Amino acid sequence: MPRSYARIGQAPEVPVSEVNRSKTATEFNGYRKDVRFGSWWDQLVVRLVFATACVAAGYHFHPFGLSRPAAAVVGLLFSVSVFLFEIRLQRASLRRLIGAAVGSILGIVGAYLMGLVMSGTTIPEDTRSFLDIGVLLVMTYIGLVLGARKGDMLNLQALGGLFGNEKGNRRQPKILDTSVIIDGRVADICEAYFLEGVLVVPQFVLRELQLVADSPDSLKRQRGRRGLEVLQKMQKMPHLEVEVAEDDFPQIPEVDMKLIELAKRYDAKIVTNDYNLNKVATLQGLDVLNVNQLANALKPVVLPGEAMRVFVLREGKEYNQGVAYLDDGTMVVIDGGRRAINKTVDIIVTSVHQTTAGKMIFGRYDERELPRNHSTQAVEAPPKGVEAPPAAPERLPRAVIPDPSQS
């Protein structure tokens, strides 16, 4: 059942209280019940009718020589077992259900054929009846289990679209990681309609956020509360369905592995900006939406030889280097930019390097070359009667990485 996110206190120094959490949970649960009220009552009525029919049948027929009250109790227990089996089947995919049904039918057919063979033998009647029932149960069970496990190998599209594409007919949910919630950019992505449909927040991720929001460290507490605010903002978007998954895996201690197991169970995508989780989930065949990769893909493309204007912020690590940053945070290393610190200058891009942490741009700053070829500002001519200084030979850009042949 969907649950609420903890509501965040107004003052930053006050921890999130349990009263506010329970109040928000009541409001959020009430909203979800209003949406799914009809379907829940429909299921309840159908189950009550089925349970009543089982109890009435047991009371009327009282099988196995039981008394009428005992037979009614047996009928009730039978209906409860059917309900538990139904809840388990709801988590299975269509391919698994078809595989289990086909396996069971084949098992029953095989047991029937074996019964025909045993009927022509001299086995005593009582023993043959026991063997018939035993073979029927064993073959049906084996067919059911093996068919369900091998059902993922079925290709439903080969049936001419009779069952359709299971992934295409339903919206594939997306599971949010703790890191991407605290980062906050996922809310802007959803607001721009790049993400829509069902967003699943696992209960263990929500629990981790609440622990961070209650942390004695002010920085961690601020990050946790920002994550809860991001969830509340996404909850109010009309094109999103934010739900909390109650599934947990107590035998798995790591949150990242729990996310992978949950994504396998619901055939969902993982939304994260964790590099390691991205690699592990990809190796296991899961679809991952990485916010950092999306941000890198949206950065402007810069080619060597182009001119660009940057603000030189500080000195670089190498001699006579300056460092600047673009609006998206891309680092620009400028050869010859040390003398232009705290100035906005035009540079020429020499190379672009793509790393796992992002993109780095290397450029060259030359006061004599840029005003003539790339700058739009006019260059003042020297006054009359004053001889212009001789032009110095052009200095080639120094390599950022030393040449090993010169050592």
Residue carrying the six token digits 């600047």: 324
Q: Mind listing the pLDDT tens digit of every residue in the chain (407 residues)?
A: 444 333 333 333 334 344 344 433 433 344 343 444 446 777 888 889 998 998 899 888 888 888 888 988 988 999 999 888 888 777 777 778 888 889 999 999 999 999 898 888 888 888 888 888 888 999 999 988 888 888 767 766 666 555 555 554 456 889 999 999 999 899 999 998 888 888 999 999 999 998 988 988 888 899 889 999 999 999 889 888 888 888 888 888 888 899 998 998 888 899 999 889 999 999 988 899 999 888 878 877 888 888 889 999 999 888 889 999 988 788 899 998 888 899 999 999 999 887 766 788 999 987 655 454 444 333 344 444 444 444 444 444 444 444 444 43
Handedness of CA 202, 207, 212, 213 (dihedral sign): positive
| Nearest-angstrom CA–CA distance, 407 and 400 | 15
Residue 63's alpha-carbon distances to 53, 69, 291, in angstroms, are 15, 11, 62
> Cβ distance 329 to 313 under 8 Å?
no
Neighbours of 319 (CB within 10 A): 10
DSSP codes, 238-275: TTEEEEEE----TT---HHHHHHHHHHHHT-EEEE--H
> Cβ distance 260 to 280 under 8 Å?
yes
Q: What is the pTM of this model?
A: 0.49
What domains lie within the chain, and their CATH numbers?
39-164 (no CATH), 171-297 (3.40.50.1010), 299-376 (2.40.50.140)
| Nearest-angstrom CA–CA distance, 273 and 254 | 17
In this prediction, residue 357 carries a pLDDT of 65
In this prediction, residue 322 carries a pLDDT of 93
CB contact set of 159 (below 8 Å; sequence gap of 6+): none
Buried b (16+ CB within 10 A) or exposed e, 134-172: ebbeebbeebbebbbeebeebeeeeeeeeeeeeeeeeee
Give the residues across from 360 on adjacent strands: 331, 353
> Cβ distance 324 to 353 under 8 Å?
no
The DSSP H or E segment spanning 288 is strand 288-290
